[in-house]
Amino acid sequence: MNHQQQHLASAVMERDRSRSRMRMVTVTVGAASLAAAGVVAYNLPGPTHTTAVSGTTTTPAAQPSASAANQQQGDDGGGDGGGAAVTVPSGTFGQAPAQATSGGS
């Protein structure tokens, strides 16, 4: 083999080594970012207390006031919910109403 062919073979081998190193670095960085994303997702706060039943979300209502012992028959304690659960249709909890847009002039 002459000097020019040796130089070409050496350059090809160096290129292959560089590609291999770059592939290893890419895989390592990808795995590290996937692990970091998993740690972040694990540490995110979850929902507080919501229970979905038949398309509704149920949350505890206010407890009766101290004057509940003085209630008249049929009185609900002044509108405090009387300790019952409040049912909100799904799809509306925490969502703003839809906004209409105009074309303008």
Looking at residue 19, what is its pLDDT?
A: 97
CB atoms within 10 A of CB 68: 15
Q: Is 102 a member of any domain?
A: no
Same domain, 61 and 20: no
Q: Is 20 a member of any domain?
A: yes
Q: Is 105 a member of any domain?
A: no
Looking at residue 41, what is its pLDDT?
A: 92
Q: What is the mean pLDDT of the chain?
A: 73
Q: Is 103 a member of any domain?
A: no
Dist CA 10 CA 18 (whole Å):
12
Taking only the tens place, the pLDDT of each residue in 75-91 is 555 555 555 566 656 65
Q: Could you give the dihedral angle defined by the CA atoms of residues 89, 91, 94 and 95, in that order, rounded to the nearest 10 degrees?
A: -130
Task: Scan for tokens 């979905």, then name that residue.
Answer: 52
Find all residues with CB under 8 Å of 37, minimum gap 6, and list them. none
Same domain, 42 and 56: no
Looking at residue 103, what is its pLDDT?
A: 62
CA atoms within 13 A on the CB side of 33: 5
| Over residues 64-74, mean pLDDT | 56
The range of the structural domain enclosing residue 32 comes to 1-46
Looking at residue 45, what is its pLDDT?
A: 87
Domains identified in the chain, total number: 2
Looking at residue 49, what is its pLDDT?
A: 60
